[in-house]
Amino acid sequence: MSKTNMTRRGVLKTGAVAGAGVALPTIFTASSAAAYTNEPTGGSVTLGFNVPQTGPYADEGMDELRAQELAVEHLNGGGDGGMMNTFSSKALKGNGILGKKVEFVTGDTQTKSDAARASAKSMIEKDGAIMINGGSSSGVAIAVQGLCQDAGVIFMAGLTHSNDTTGKDKKANGFRHFFNGYMSGAALAPVLASAYGKDRNAYHLTADYTWGWTQQESIAAATEAMGWNTVNNVLTPLASTDFSSYIAPVLNSGADVLVLNHYGGNMVNSLTNAIQFGLRDKVVNGKNFEIVVPLYSELMAAGAGENVQGVIGSMNWNWQLQDEGSKAFVKSFGEKYGRPPSNSAHTCYVQTMLYADACERAGTFNPCGVAEALEGFEFDGMGNGPTLYRADDHQCFKDVLVMKGKDNPSNEYDTLEILEVTPRAQVEYAPDHPMFAGGDLGSCNAG
């Protein structure tokens, strides 16, 4: 009769160790088999495009996805090459990245941090994505940026405007091409002072989350520096749909300007409500009452319809720009999709191109090599004039657009007009600026 040494405790211990081994995410074990996370071994490389495909920002996400697909087409030598023809760096050859054909997978952020992290994680672990790009929310961007830092892949942020993304929440593996709240304030304040005067009382309605807080802080600081007085700042729940009870007291507050620190559906509804209350028809303190929307997007403007007419705001980029890069991108995008691209589409396209270019210049997909190539990179021909990817915080510095709702739009895309192209020098700030304090870039993680 044979006797084994197997005991109940032994089985449990073995099971626990084996279970932990199986459960351990491949994200933490991949480094033992490769030099860095998802090192490409075959003839192709996979990029992960993480955009809202469902939920309230699904239309914006679809536009980002269109631009990302266009970028992949151009990287692989298809189409007319778009901005590759105008990009100041000539490292990209139209033969993929480092000779490998570019493929992509997509994830749905749903504009929810947990869903965005889950989809990014899935693309990294299951699909082998070497880079994550896209998104339409600062909360999502900050969450995914943290995940990419831990996973050892590069994160090229999409539409994220909170100061925190490259401020207190900045990461060594994360890069933002889009502008931020501080830049909006710096660009808008002189235009607002010129258009509406320096003796103004502003009432802020602010979405109650990271983006709203930092934008309000930035706009209030910039306009106060111009002589405006901030009468009140009311935080509104993100889930609000009817803003009438927040708008009704505005006229009685002594304010003659309403600043709507809202984005997406919040902005469409709050602006519509403000127009319904006839605020722009009123005269307060002897001045015409004005409304300001610091962050515009084409889709929001379309959603608000005629309510945006005459309302001033800011944007990262607009299809009406007449520089060679913008014209090339609008032509490629317009001919392929029959519509002009949005500014979120532009930033996602440019980020994909910048990542590919950095890989080529670095000669590797290793995220630490790519990050080094992006840090301090000066470039032009991508639609925003001469641009710097600052090494200190991985924020792009470039011109900012001040926009105004068009009075007589000729078609559904013609909702906004460019009021001013604010030069880059006017929106720059020191890396240790108090509005961006508290974070640590840390060191690059290759997985």
Partner 1 sequence: MDAIILQILNGLDKGSAYALIALGLTLIFGTLGVVNFAHGALFMIGAFCAVTLSKLLNLSFETIDPTQTDFLGNPLKVKTPYVIEWFGMDTGSAIIDWAVPLAILFSIPIMICVGFIMERGLIKHFYKREHADQILVTFGLAIVLQEVIKYFYGANPIPTPAPDVFKGSFDFGTMLGFDPNVIIYPYWRLVYFFFSAVVIGGVFAFLQFTTFGMVVRAGMADRETVGLLGINIDKRFTIMFGVAAAVAGLAGVMYAPINSPNYHMGMDFLVLSFVVVVVGGMGSLPGAVLAGFLLGILESFASMNEIKSLIPGIDQIIIYVVAIIILLTRPRGLMGRKGVMEE
Q: Which residues of this protein are in contact with partner 1, per CB under 8 A?
A: 54-60, 232, 234, 237, 239, 241-242, 244-246, 248-249, 251-252, 265, 268-269, 272-273, 276-278, 281-282, 284, 299, 302-307, 319-320, 330-331, 334-335, 340, 410-411, 413
Dist. CA 187–CA 408, nearest whole Å: 25
Which pairing describes strands 377-379 and 312-315: parallel, antiparallel, or unpaired?
unpaired
Residue nearer to partner 1 on the CB measure, 60 or 360? 60
Q: Which of 72, 127, 131 is nearest to 102 (CA)?
A: 72
Q: How far is the CB of 285 from partner 1 (least distance, A)?
A: 11
Q: Which of 438, 346, 329 is nearest to 401 (CA)?
A: 346
Q: How far is the CB of 299 from partner 1 (least distance, A)?
A: 5
- In three-state secondary structure terms, 378 is strand
Q: How far is the CB of 410 from partner 1 (least distance, A)?
A: 7
Residue spans of beta strands (DSSP E) within 245-341: 257-261, 283-284, 287-288, 290-295, 312-315
Dist. CA 10–CA 336, nearest whole Å: 63
Q: How far is the CB of 195 from partner 1 (least distance, A)?
A: 22
Residue nearer to partner 1 on the CB measure, 14 or 241? 241
DSSP 60-96: HHHHHHHHHHHHHHHHTT-TT-GGGGT-S-----SS-
Runs of H (alpha helix) within 76-180: 113-125, 138-151
Q: How far is the CB of 412 from partner 1 (least distance, A)?
A: 10
Q: How far is the CB of 268 from partner 1 (least distance, A)?
A: 5
Q: How far is the CB of 273 from partner 1 (least distance, A)?
A: 7
Q: How far is the CB of 207 from partner 1 (least distance, A)?
A: 13
Residue nearer to partner 1 on the CB measure, 305 or 423? 305
Angle formed by the axes of helices 138-151 and 210-225, nearest 10°? 120
Burial 22-60 (b: 16+ CB within 10 A, else e): eeeeebeebeeeeebbbbeeeeebbbbbbbbbebbbbeb
Tokens matching residue 121: 């994680």
Residue nearer to partner 1 on the CB measure, 317 or 379? 317
Residue nearer to partner 1 on the CB measure, 154 or 267? 267
Q: How far is the CB of 55 from partner 1 (least distance, A)?
A: 7
| Residue partners of 137: CB distance under 8 A and separation at least 6 | 52, 57, 109, 111, 159, 160, 211
Q: Give the up-direction half-sphere exposure of residue 101: CA atoms within 13 A in the CB hemisphere.
A: 5
Residue nearer to partner 1 on the CB measure, 163 or 273? 273
Residue nearer to partner 1 on the CB measure, 53 or 387? 53
Q: How far is the CB of 409 from partner 1 (least distance, A)?
A: 12
Cα dihedral value 7, 11, 12, 13, nearest 10: 100
Dist. CA 10–CA 47, nearest whole Å: 44
Cα dihedral value 58, 84, 47, 211, nearest 10: -40
Residue nearer to partner 1 on the CB measure, 223 or 342? 342
How far apart, in Å, are the Cα atoms of 364 and each of 38, 333, 351? 12, 29, 17
Residue nearer to partner 1 on the CB measure, 4 or 252? 252
160 forms bridges with which residues in the sheet?
Answer: none
Q: How far is the CB of 111 from partner 1 (least distance, A)?
A: 10
Residue nearer to partner 1 on the CB measure, 119 or 307? 307
Residue nearer to partner 1 on the CB measure, 35 or 248? 248
Q: What region, left, alpha or beta, does residue 132 occupy, with left being phi > 0 and alpha being psi -120 to 50 degrees?
A: beta
Tokens matching residue 264: 């997406």
